[in-house]
Amino acid sequence: MGIMSGKKILIMGLRNKWSIAWGITKKLYEGGAELAFTYQGEREEAGVRDILKSLGGEPMQNNFPLIKCDLGSDDEIEAAFSELGALWGRLDGVVHAVAHAQSEDLQNDFIFTSRGGFAHALNISAYTLVYVARKASELMADGGAILTLTYMGSERVFPGYNVMGVAKAALEATVRYLAHSLGAKGIRVNAISSGPIKTLSSKAVKNFSSILSVVDDKAPLKRGVGADEIGGSALYLLSDLSSAVTGEIHYVDCGFNIMG
């Protein structure tokens, strides 16, 4: 029996074995959680099915429902939670590991961010948490936990992170407002602010390698964080151990955020 035994958790944003969502998935699985996953399209579905084989067997054989959901569509979000409700009847937690910005807005100077690119980054990276929380709460009659992922670029300038920094700032404010909106229902909303970590998405950030080197030099632990370590904190925030924690931005960055 694990710390998450009996908990039904939906993970949104798992794409490959290098992602933070995979580190979270492994820790939740080890903790005994029952897991479901969303995917955006056929290519993403194949990738998720392949990676889940390392947990043992095919997804549906191992009770891992895979549900199509393009987070850019309210209709698809609603349909996904309707399908999940029919399968499970209830939900205990959601991992929102989703963010996106147009590549040119990460390569050019921030001042050249387009109106469309700005709207896109905030829509996918921040607003989707609002709609996901709304639909998830309908399946959380006995309370639950919602977790998203952010980064310190929300409060300090990391050249190249650009519009994603603005989107993450909006996301963190969204966490606080959702925590207030859903608190009376016993639903907690938190975010993990991880240190920089090599993922496929991070490759789109200009000069990302220089950000990694600074962390290794300045963080109190003199190293960067691993996806499994982020997964450990996610396990805590989604479990009953954190039953009095909500509206928080929890740093998992080897202490880098405390340094001047």
| Catalytic (active site) residue 251 | no
Q: Mean pLDDT across the chain, nearest whole number?
A: 92
Q: How many residues appear in the chain? A: 260
> If you average pLDDT over residues 28-52, what whole number do you get?
92
Question: Which pLDDT does position 121 carry in this prediction?
Answer: 98
Residues 192-209 pLDDT 10s: 999 988 665 555 555 656
Query: Mean per-residue pLDDT for 25-29?
Result: 96
**What structural domains does the chain harbor?**
8-253 (3.40.50.720)
Question: Which residue among 151, 177, 236, 251 is the active-site one?
Answer: 151
Q: Which of 161, 177, 236, 251 is catalytic?
A: 161
Look up the pTM and report it.
0.93
236 is catalytic: no
**In the predicted structure, residue 61 carries a pLDDT above the cut 80:** no
Residue-wise pLDDT for 78-121, tens only, equals 999 999 999 999 999 999 999 999 999 999 999 999 999 999 99
DSSP H helix total and E strand total for the chain: 9, 7
209-230 tens-digit pLDDT: 666 678 888 999 999 999 999 9
Spatial separation of the C-alpha atoms in residues 3 and 9, rounded to whole Å:
13
Q: Kindly provide the residue ranges of all beta strands, DSSP E only, lying in the chain, ordered along the sequence.
A: 8-12, 34-39, 66-68, 93-96, 144-150, 187-194, 249-252
| Percent of the chain topping pLDDT 90 | 80
